[in-house]
Structure 1
Amino acid sequence: MIIEIVVLVLTAVVVYAIYKHRKNVNEFRRNGLNVLPGVPLLGNTYKSVFKRRHIFHDFDEVYRAFPDDKYVGYVDGMNGALFIRDPDIIKQITIKDFDHFVNRGWILNDKDNPLLSNSLLFMKDERWHEMRTTLSPAFTGSKMKKMVPFMITAAGNIVEHLNKQISGDVSEGVHLDDVMRRYTNDVIASSAFGLEVNSVADRDNEFYATGQRMSNPNIWQKFNFLLVTIFPFLAKKFNLKLCPDEITDFFRNIVKNTMEYRKINNVERPDMIQLLMEAAKGTLASSKENDESEFDTARELNSKTEIPIKKWTADELTAQAFLFFSAGFESSASTLTLAVHELAINPDVQRKLYEEIQNLGGHKTALSYEMIQTMKYLDMVVNETLRKWAPAIILNRVCTKPYLLPPARPGAATYRVEKGKMIYCFVSSIHMDEKYYPDPDRFNPDRFSEDNKRSREPFTFIPFGTGPRNCIGSRFALLELKVFLYYLILNFEILKFEETTDPLRLSASDFNIKAQGGSWVKLRKRVLD
């Protein structure tokens, strides 16, 4: 009897999945949109689900299928979504008509996912607007400048560790994935939570171990993630958790205990906990400084409406610290890993970067925030890494009120986007489009020279997103990347190892951007001047 019930349930699921799939595909075609059908239940990402290739290639297949269309239909699991290819429309929906596309599309149970659902990433509507307005002053250039010393300390610990591992002039194989995660872990621990951690000396410290658990989810967590993606309402109904209780409690306790200690002992420190404490009191002052970066488009939001600063609950504040950690730990580590990997297989780029560092004084000059801002070639190297290996593969928005898109191609009709329809912009595919970046597989920092930046088509370089919901921590991430690359190149020549893949290929085993087989290099100590 039980077997019969299971068979009936599975049959019903399969029949419903086929029905939904055909309905989505036919709806697109009736409205004149091109679409790659994919398969029932898994839509256009079935190859990556079964680890046949990285999910970027699934997205890119859709992107390249209809090169003359501004947007196409996209089969998103059990749902139909829109896939925007045109930079002008991306600008339209993320900035000019942002009020139609305020929210991301995830649906999470607040009770069972308090840190995720209360974070800036998942907040919706006016609540998101208020939190963004509250936190924006925390991420100005002047605030980030105060965190540079924490990054320098963490980078120095890594350099010292690497030096000890080299018995002669050249090291054995160095596993970049491990080294970079220890660096970003220590930077976040210090800059966000006020904890002094040295993960190369204390390799099993609790902070690093927690980051590892988050970055390497077990089978059940992956299954929950898949359900949230394909059946969001079902996942909410059954209270599925994406973050285990022990991780939630870990961050709650850190934030609570640190805040209480500082209040009792009148301790102040220029880190994220301090900024959150000011936000909790409603005293986080807005900065008048003019220090906009290329990625800072959030000012579009705050220039339109002044919202009274409100006080926030402990869970809401903890959620922002949690988001800062989860984004900064894995995304920054992956980007750094691939940057160093690219430098190993592009020695001409590495040589030019070392020359810039030497021209600034090398070991004779202490690195400062101001020096980092003058390093044009370092900025070009980082931007080219972000172009080729964008940490945010996609942008997603959900339509919050009906919207009319221009025709997808000449001769087609306009398309009405209904409330609740998901919109995707595939960042990596735009970054790797030959139309915008000739020979896109080549690692060429000169694409980001001042002249080339001026001639670049707008909204074809969006590694941190765009519009009011862009990444609020982009300044911090850029500084974190640049500080480490500065010290690594200053002290070591990066060499190919027999396990260094060239060309670099993406691993199919993870949603995150990682090299197939991992990233391995050798290091040669530089002769000090």
Structure 2
Amino acid sequence: MTRPFFTRERITDFDIYDRNWSISLKTAKARLNEGFSLDIQDLISRFTLDSATEFLFGGEVGSLSAGIPYPPGHEKANSPVFYNHPSTSFVKAFTKGLSIVAERGNFGKEWALVEFNSDQVTPLRQIIDDFTEPLLSKALHARSNGTNLKTNEEVTLLEHLVKHTQDTKILKDELVNLLVAGRDTTMCLLTFAVYMLAEHPDIEKRLREEIYDKVGATEAPTYEKMREMRYMKAFLNEVLRLYPPVPSNGRTTTKPVLLPAIRPGEKPFYIPKDTTCIYAVINIHRRKDLWGPDGKFYPLRTLEYDLNTLFTALEFDPDRFLDDRVKKYLVANPYIFCPFNAGPRICLGQQFAYNEASFYLIRLLQNFTEFTLDNSVNIPPPAQWKFRDSLTAKEKIFPTAHLTLFVKGGLWVKMKSLDNEQV
């Protein structure tokens, strides 16, 4: 029902991104000019939310117009406009709802016993519905009266869906599912991309060189120019590998399945019908036996870590998606990389996400440089993480998850403006 909507023409129209980027740029520069760091995760989430709601529904929440938070603990407080903005209740309800739904997964089918007295999601869902229902009613009315005269390329996803069903429950559920994909997953990708830029200034430099070569210092990116940016794609893939937006997922069997044994001579695995199988994407993406050695040697690491952690795939290295390791590991076994899932149920918005993330990073690197973490504000990871694998031990921030991965407390950064004039 949804798949036909994601045509190349739709996902390569960057007008929505352009409008929301202009607001994001002004917001970021204003905060940095005040001398404060900014929560880039919050700013990105507003960009992706406004872009997603306009693309999906034809009407944006307008969260960018509310402004962004000041660092906690500073005397300068956020204005009443920030706290009372209509988008604030929408975002809070959406985020809290995701957390509750994720928590329900820990209890399986018995989650309702935990919420015996009341369904905790219902009042939150009502806040979301208060925004979507007027748009839904308008689309259904236009459908029934034949007053929607837009071409196929002009209709929103909501207008596309009402051509196939008028069941309001199905429509609402589909819109919420796509909103999670459109807002949270791209927010995760971009947030951890900025984190990696702060940790790897050499990679930032190389990305900017490619941007200037393929797009220019000020010109707006196009889909055709993005397709030529091999290092940008490799960079995004490496972020997705180590920090997949959906760190764990699950599938339920529709019939009994017999899986082959892992090793010759061992027994196969029998999985009954209606069994939910959980798999950790983040663990698959970090397995040394699947991704191989990274070809780097850090002699000082032998003083801190066991030798088994040397030569592993736990290093951030975009070149692994460009050099001979692609053929050796990924081409030989493509299911080792599944940030968008795989097979018939692969994410419909995969290319949409790549386009949006590429657009944002191009504009970001055309305008800012010298990304640094404000560790006076960022929440540090738990102390015990320093005894875990080499990647986790080096974390400067606290990655955590509900349904999707995010940085606990936000990703507070400082960055230097390049003062480029955009065209």
TM-score bin (small chain)? 0.7 to 0.9
Counterpart CA distance in 1 for 2:287 and 2:244 is 13
Counterpart CA distance in 2 for 1:225 and 1:450 is 38
Tell me which structure has the larger Cα radius of gyration. 1
* Secondary structure at the counterpart of residue 468 of structure 1: helix
Counterpart CA distance in 2 for 1:260 and 1:312 is 7
- 1:136 and 2:16 aligned: no
8 A Cα contact 2:56 2:158, kept in partner: no
Counterpart CA distance in 1 for 2:262 and 2:290 is 19
Tell me which residue corresponds to 2:86: 206
Please point out which of 10, 19, 22 is paired with 1:156. 22
Tell me which residue corresponds to 2:186: 332
8 A Cα contact 2:218 2:366, kept in partner: no
Tell me which residue corresponds to 1:175: 39
Counterpart CA distance in 1 for 2:196 and 2:37 is 16
Counterpart CA distance in 1 for 2:27 and 2:324 is 40
Counterpart CA distance in 1 for 2:173 and 2:155 is 12
Cα shift at 1:273: 6.1
Please point out which of 354, 361, 365 is paired with 1:478. 354
Counterpart CA distance in 2 for 1:259 and 1:337 is 34
Please point out which of 181, 191, 201 is paired with 2:55. 191
> For the structure 1 residues 520 and 279, does the alpha-carbon distance in structure 2 shift closer, same or farther, using more than 3 Å as the test?
closer
Counterpart CA distance in 1 for 2:324 and 2:133 is 50
Counterpart CA distance in 2 for 1:508 and 1:369 is 32
Cα shift at 1:226: 3.8
- 1:389 and 2:255 aligned: no
Q: TM-score, normalization: structure 2? A: 0.76
Counterpart CA distance in 1 for 2:142 and 2:410 is 41
Q: For residues 109-508 of structure 1, what are the structure 2 equivalents within 5 Å?
A: 134-146=1-13, 148-167=14-33, 172-196=36-60, 198-203=62-67, 204=82, 205-217=85-97, 222=100, 226-227=103-104, 229-233=106-110, 235=112, 240=119, 242-244=121-123, 245-259=125-139, 266=148, 268=150, 274-282=156-164, 311-437=165-291, 438=293, 439-449=312-322, 451-455=324-328, 456=330, 457-499=333-375, 503-507=395-399
Counterpart CA distance in 2 for 1:522 and 1:260 is 46
Cα shift at 1:417: 1.6
Where in structure 1 are there 5+ consecutive unaligned residues?
Answer: 1-133, 283-310
> For the structure 1 residues 217 and 281, does the alpha-carbon distance in structure 2 shift closer, same or farther, using more than 3 Å as the test?
closer
Cα shift at 1:341: 0.9
8 A Cα contact 1:251 1:318, kept in partner: no
* Secondary structure at the counterpart of residue 435 of structure 1: helix
8 A Cα contact 2:46 2:64, kept in partner: yes
> For the structure 1 residues 137 and 210, does the alpha-carbon distance in structure 2 shift closer, same or farther, using more than 3 Å as the test?
same
Cα shift at 1:208: 4.8
- 1:528 and 2:394 aligned: no
Larger RCO (CA within 8 A; separation ≥ 6)? 1
* Secondary structure at the counterpart of residue 153 of structure 1: helix
* Secondary structure at the counterpart of residue 197 of structure 2: helix
Q: TM-score, normalization: structure 1? A: 0.62
Cα shift at 1:384: 0.7
Tell me which residue corresponds to 1:43: none
Where in structure 2 are there 5+ consecutive unaligned residues?
Answer: 68-81, 294-311, 381-393
* Secondary structure at the counterpart of residue 344 of structure 1: helix
Tell me which residue corresponds to 1:20: none
